Amino acid sequence: MAQKPSIPKGTRDFGPAEMAGRDYIFNTVRNVFRHYGYAPIETPSMENLSTLLGKYGEEGDKLLFKVLNSGDAFAGVTPEMLGNSNSLSVKVCEKGLRYDLTVPFARFVVQHQNELVFPFKRYQIQPVWRADRPQKGRYREFYQCDVDVVGSNSLINELELVQIVDDVFGKLNIGVTVKINNRKVLSGIAEVSGHPDKLIDITVAIDKIDKIGLDAVKAELLSKGLDNDALAVIDPILNLSGTTAEKISAMRPILAKSATGTKGLDELEELFTLISAAEISQETELDLSLARGLNYYTGAIFEVKANDVPMGSICGGGRYDDLTGIFGLPGVSGVGISFGADRIYDVLSALNKFPGDAVEGTKVLFTNLGEKEVLYTIPVVKKLRAAGIAAEIYTDTTKLKKQFDYADKKKIPFLAIVGEDELANGNVSIKNLATGEQKKVDKEQVVTYFTI
């Protein structure tokens, strides 16, 4: 019995139409990145597991796909290791699939530091893998489109990231809301709540507020060792409303005893002043409940959500002050943002906002009615392709109806017929399959026909 073909859950095949839509997204994002002076790099799909572990927090480490060592990977495994998944995985797996593009980028910067000009601005468009539970909008393999700059502390970099978001989603015709917070503010909240040692627990819990709700977040914080007095400090902060200026003003007396928290408010105030001057088209807001659970963020954090499609974030990022320090290059601050191409694709599909030419394939199909006709057609097709017009020749000599059906099924808008009459008169009969109109065109004017 033949094996039924399948793919792992959380992964997807993409046919020609889907790939055309994805290329539309990648090309749009790539062009915006380049206009802001960012250059492309790529890193391997696999990294040393030591590069990845400990960079994403405990929950992130659980989602790493680990690659089993080649050969007898389990040689030397002791019974004690079988009871500890971490020690076992480190023993039998030296490599892992990358969880994101930021940590590999930090490794890249340190490894190639003598070749780079700082501030170093790079973009990267590659797949990442997470051993997550598959669900709508959440995949185990998905593409990220990252843009980062390292070697500069200026908040102009954060402004440019917001401008890039504005440009990308403006060109994609998607209305979004850019949510902004600062991890220093969250550190300040942890301090004034009396639990500075619980920053990670607080950010991990707060980061789930959109998924599980405020009450469940508070229950999780209590389970992590916070008391009701701490919740009494945190709760009103998460419920603050008003303009950005009003929220920052309200937060200043709350964080007055925290130098770190106050610094975060200063940075937010400066960033929103820059954003105001830049006349951003998309909606931006200060969201004090925004946490982003990744441990390496230290300053501004961003999250972008589509306004008209119920889905998680489609873009996010933030500043990391010492991610390169983990790899031996301290004091190199960076900031970046990542576009989730797969979720953006889902949003464009849900809103039916892919432009017609984004998924356009072959423009004209030339019939195949015999060897002489094909030899006549080949140079005409070559000229069309050289002019940037997608054209193909039906490869088999067969009935004209079958060739019509092929064009119809592939949604090819024009059929170019070359038969005995066309050979004799030096022309091509071009049929518009949408209108039924058919016209004879001199073979030397076929390119002009499709370009005027």
What pLDDT sits at residue 293?
67
Q: Does residue 89 lie in a domain region?
A: no
Residue 430 DSSP SS3: strand
- With b for 16 or more beta-carbon neighbours within 10 A and e for fewer, the 117-139 pattern comes to eebbbbbbbbbbbbeeeeeebeb
What pLDDT sits at residue 53?
87
What pLDDT sits at residue 340?
93
Percentage of the chain exceeding pLDDT 70? 95
pLDDT confidence of 144, banded at 50, 70, 90? very high
Q: Does residue 256 lie in a domain region?
A: yes
Q: Does residue 3 lie in a domain region?
A: no
What pLDDT sits at residue 59?
79
Q: What is the mean pLDDT of residues 313-337?
A: 91
Strand partners, 417: 429
Q: What is the pLDDT of residues 35-62, one digit of tens each?
A: 999 999 999 999 999 899 888 877 788 8
What pLDDT sits at residue 353?
92
What pLDDT sits at residue 322?
81
User: Is 300 exposed, middle or buried, given 0-12, 13-18 or 19+ CB atoms closer than 10 A?
Assistant: buried
What pLDDT sits at residue 431?
96
| 306, 322, 351 - which closes a domain | 351
Q: What is the CATH number of the domain that holds 388?
A: 3.40.50.800
Is a pLDDT exceeding 60 seen at residue 194? yes
Q: Check whether residue 163 and residue 32 sit in a common domain.
A: yes
Tokens of 56: 């994403």
Q: Check whether residue 315 and residue 429 sit in a common domain.
A: no
| 316, 351, 386 - which closes a domain | 351
Q: Check whether residue 298 and residue 259 sit in a common domain.
A: yes
Closest CA to 59 of 215, 224, 175: 224
Q: Check whether residue 167 and residue 298 sit in a common domain.
A: yes
Is a pLDDT exceeding 70 seen at residue 87? no
What's the Rg (C-alpha) of the chain? 28
Q: How many domains does the chain have?
A: 2
Instruction: Provide the 10 A C-beta neighbour count for residue 303.
Output: 23
Q: Does residue 241 lie in a domain region?
A: yes
Tokens of 16: 């020609």
- Helical (H) or strand (E) element with 234: helix 228-238
Q: What is the pLDDT of residues 263-306, one digit of tens each?
A: 999 999 999 999 999 999 999 999 988 888 677 889 999 999 99
Q: What is the CATH number of the domain that holds 250?
A: 3.30.930.10
Q: Check whether residue 40 and residue 21 sit in a common domain.
A: yes
Q: Is the dihedral of CA 74, 76, 78, 81 positive or negative?
A: negative
Q: Does residue 61 lie in a domain region?
A: no
Q: Check whether residue 244 and residue 281 sit in a common domain.
A: yes
Q: What is the pLDDT of residues 208-244, one digit of tens each?
A: 877 788 788 888 888 888 888 888 888 888 788 899 9
Q: Check whether residue 278 and residue 332 sit in a common domain.
A: yes
What pLDDT sits at residue 219?
85
Q: Check whether residue 375 and residue 343 sit in a common domain.
A: no
What pLDDT sits at residue 82?
66
pLDDT confidence of 162, banded at 50, 70, 90? very high
Quote the pTM value: 0.84
> How many residues make up the chain in this entry?
452
Q: Does residue 368 lie in a domain region?
A: yes
Is a pLDDT exceeding 80 seen at residue 136? no
Cβ within 8 Å of residue 154, ≥6 positions away: none
Q: Does residue 90 lie in a domain region?
A: no
Between 403 and 210, whose confidence is greater?
403
Is a pLDDT exceeding 70 seen at residue 359? no
Cβ within 8 Å of residue 421, ≥6 positions away: 429
pLDDT confidence of 323, banded at 50, 70, 90? confident
Residue 444 DSSP SS3: helix
| 305, 333, 351 - which closes a domain | 351
Q: Check whether residue 365 and residue 409 sit in a common domain.
A: yes
User: Which residue segment(s) compose the domain that 405 sits in?
Assistant: 361-451
Q: Does residue 84 lie in a domain region?
A: no
Closest CA to 122 of 335, 331, 368, 423: 335
Q: Check whether residue 321 and residue 401 sit in a common domain.
A: no
* Identity at 53, one-letter amino acid code: L
Q: Check whether residue 408 and residue 338 sit in a common domain.
A: no
Q: What is the pLDDT of residues 101-122, one digit of tens each?
A: 989 999 999 999 999 999 999 9
Contact 427, 443 (CB under 8 A): yes
What pLDDT sits at residue 348?
95
Is a pLDDT exceeding 70 seen at residue 385? yes
Q: Check whether residue 222 and residue 339 sit in a common domain.
A: yes
